[in-house]
Amino acid sequence: MNAHQEIILVQGTRFTNRQFAEKKNHTVHAHNYLANNEQLKEACWNGMMKEMMPEIFLSFPTDASLYLWQMREGEKVLTMEMSEEPSELDFQASIDPYIIMELQQYN
């Protein structure tokens, strides 16, 4: 079974406005020149989700390797899809507010 996790971060919160650092060659370099939102996106793409939010990954086996496959940016949210391998998003089970609103229009 493919482990799948969908994560939504609301932009403009205390968490998303933090300064994030990038890991390179086991050293940490601050990126002060990037806007907070860009720093957050870069940190997510660089595999720092587990360090930033370890509680999200507690329900997965310790040997599960979740990779960030897709990131969608809305007006006030950042939605990320993580899984062990690329997979299709189940729109009916999605927590993305833009997908939910679109599905509501069809009902």
- Residue whose structure tokens are 């969608």: 72
State the pLDDT at residue 22: 52
State the pLDDT at residue 15: 78
pLDDT in tens, 40-87: 888 889 888 888 888 888 777 777 788 888 898 888 888 888 888 887
State the pLDDT at residue 19: 65
- Residue whose structure tokens are 């189940």: 90
Q: What is the per-residue DSSP string for 25-38?
A: TTEEEE-TTS-HHH
State the pLDDT at residue 106: 64
pLDDT in tens, 7-18: 888 888 887 777
